[in-house]
Amino acid sequence: MVRSIQAKGIPPIGYGEGSNKMTVRIDENNMGNMNAKQAEEFFNMVRDDLGLKDFGFGITTAGSICLPDKILIDERDLQYPWHTKHMILHELTHHIAPNAKLHGTRFHMEYANLVLRYLAGVV
Ligand SMILES: [Zn+2]
């Protein structure tokens, strides 16, 4: 039996016979996922709170990354808010702690501070 789900404004998702995968393009807020606008709003709130006025935000398909002037979040990381916000804070940590050894102890200390400040009791 093949069934489909369709929500307003979102293409139908097929699953059942002949389908062992579900693929969803996340342009809109779907199943509680953050969309690009919501992700940018969270980023802007954190950026402004940290006083990083000229630091930018963008969406990519090439993997989330921190560049010298902005972070790019992969559209595949536009998922549940806890995941997307963690990715944003992760990439921001690379900017805040540029001299920290990549993903080392100091990186994680800075990252944990951001998680405590912007996610604890919020997500
Ligand atoms: Zn990283």
**pTM to 2 decimal places:** 0.74
pLDDT digits (tens, 9 = 90+) for 65-114: 999 999 999 999 999 999 999 999 999 999 999 777 789 999 999 999 99
* pLDDT confidence of residue 23: 45
When the pLDDT of each residue in the chain is averaged and rounded to a whole number, the result is 81
Bridge partners of 3, per DSSP, are 15
Q: Annotate 2-29 with DSSP letters as a single string.
A: EEEE--TTS--EEEETTB-------SS-
Distance of CA 36 to the CA centre of its chain: 8
Check whether 11 has a pLDDT greater than 90. no
- What the chain holds in terms of domains, given with CATH numbers, is 1-28 (no CATH), 32-118 (3.30.2010.10)
Ligand 1 centroid from CA 121, angstroms: 24
Ligand 1 centroid from CA 26, angstroms: 23
